[in-house]
A and B are shown apart, each in its own frame.
Chain A
Amino acid sequence: MKEEAVVFGTNTDLVGVITNPKERNDELPAFVFLNAGMTHRIGPSRLHVRFARELSEIGHTVIRFDFSGLGDSSRRTDDLPIAESVVRETREAMDLLEKKCKIKRFILIGICSGATISYLTSKHDDRVAGVVLINAQSHLHGMDTALGEYLREQTFAKHAWRIALRSSFRRKNFRKAIGGQLNPIRIMKMMLGLPMSILFGNREQGSSAKAHDALADLKSVLERGVKVYHLYSEGDEGLDYFNLMLSPAQQATCNQGNSRLSIMLGANHVFTVLWSQDELLKDVMNWTREEFH
Chain B
Amino acid sequence: MDPFFFDADGASLFGCYHAPSSPARGCALVLANPFGHEYVQFHRVFRQLAIMLADAGFPVLRFDYTGTGDSSDDYPEWSLDRWTKDIEAAVKEVQQRAGSEKTAIVGLRLGGTLALDVAAKMGTVDSLVLWDPILRGGPHVEEIRAGHESMMGYAHVIAKPDSGCPPEVLGFAFPDTIADELKGIDLLESRGEIAKRVLVIESNEAEPQQALCDWIAATKADLTYEEISNPHLWVWLEDFAKMHVPRKLLQSIVDWFSEGYA
Which residues of A come within 8 Å of B, CB atoms? 3-7, 13, 15, 17, 36-42, 44-46, 49-50, 70-72, 163, 167-169, 172, 175-176, 181, 233-236, 265-270, 272-276, 278
Nearest chain A CB to B30's CB is how many angstroms away? 17
Q: Which residues of B (14-44) have their CB < 8 Å from a CB of A?
A: 14, 16, 37, 40, 43-44
Q: Which of A163, A181, A270 contacts B238 (CB 8 A)?
A: A270
**A234 and B5 contact, Cβ closer than 8 Å, known pairs A5-B14, A37-B240, A49-B70:** no
Q: Which residues of B (148-190) have their CB < 8 Å from a CB of A?
A: 151-160, 163, 165-166, 168, 170-173
Q: Which of B44, B151, B166, B238 contacts A274 (CB 8 A)?
A: B166
A4 near B151: Cβ-Cβ < 8 Å: no
Does B12 make an interface contact (CB < 8 A)?
yes
B156 near A3: Cβ-Cβ < 8 Å: no
Known interface pairs A234-B156, A272-B157; 17 further A-B residue pairs with C-beta atoms within 8 A, sorted by A's residue number: A5-B14, A13-B1, A15-B3, A36-B240, A38-B44, A50-B74, A72-B1, A266-B158, A267-B158, A268-B238, A269-B238, A273-B157, A273-B159, A273-B168, A274-B163, A274-B168, A275-B163
B12 near A3: Cβ-Cβ < 8 Å: yes
Does B68 make an interface contact (CB < 8 A)?
yes
Chain A residue with minimal CB distance to B173? A274
Nearest chain B CB to A34's CB is how many angstroms away? 15
Q: Which of B3, B4, B70, B72 contacts A42 (CB 8 A)?
A: B70
Q: Which of A13, A38, A72, A235 contacts B156 (CB 8 A)?
A: A235
B5 near A40: Cβ-Cβ < 8 Å: no
Nearest chain A CB to B17's CB is how many angstroms away? 11
B171 near A272: Cβ-Cβ < 8 Å: yes
Does B69 make an interface contact (CB < 8 A)?
yes
Using an 8 Å CB-CB cutoff, how does the interface string of B49-89 with A read, 1 for contact, 0 for none?
00000000000000000001110101000000000000000
Contact count band on B:
35 or more
Does B120 make an interface contact (CB < 8 A)?
no
- Chain A binding surface SS class: loop
Q: Which 7 A-B pairs have the closest CB atoms?
A: A235-B156, A266-B158, A45-B171, A275-B163, A5-B3, A274-B165, A268-B156
Bound CA–CA A168/B155 (angstroms): 12
Chain B residue with minimal CB distance to A13? B1
Does B243 make an interface contact (CB < 8 A)?
yes
Nearest chain B CB to A138's CB is how many angstroms away? 14
**Most chain A CB atoms below 10 A, which of B1, B2, B152:** B1
Nearest chain B CB to A292's CB is how many angstroms away? 25
Bound CA–CA A268/B159 (angstroms): 11
Does B241 make an interface contact (CB < 8 A)?
yes
14 residue pairs A–B, Cβ–Cβ below 8 Å: A5-B3, A17-B14, A37-B241, A41-B70, A44-B40, A44-B240, A72-B16, A175-B153, A268-B156, A272-B155, A272-B171, A273-B157, A274-B163, A274-B165
Nearest chain B CB to A16's CB is how many angstroms away? 8
A270 near B156: Cβ-Cβ < 8 Å: no
Bound CA–CA A182/B159 (angstroms): 20
A266 near B160: Cβ-Cβ < 8 Å: yes
Bound CA–CA A175/B154 (angstroms): 10
Nearest chain B CB to A290's CB is how many angstroms away? 24
Bound CA–CA A265/B153 (angstroms): 17
Bound CA–CA A41/B47 (angstroms): 14
Q: Which residues of A contact B163 (CB under 8 A)?
A: 274-275, 278
B241 near A38: Cβ-Cβ < 8 Å: yes
A46 near B69: Cβ-Cβ < 8 Å: yes
Bound CA–CA A275/B166 (angstroms): 9
A275 near B241: Cβ-Cβ < 8 Å: no
Bound CA–CA A272/B165 (angstroms): 13
B156 near A40: Cβ-Cβ < 8 Å: no
A44 near B171: Cβ-Cβ < 8 Å: yes
Q: Which residues of A contact B44 (CB under 8 A)?
A: 38, 40, 70-71
Q: Which residues of B contact A234 (CB under 8 A)?
A: 156
**A38 and B243 contact, Cβ closer than 8 Å, known pairs A169-B158, A274-B173:** yes
B3 near A7: Cβ-Cβ < 8 Å: yes
B40 near A267: Cβ-Cβ < 8 Å: no
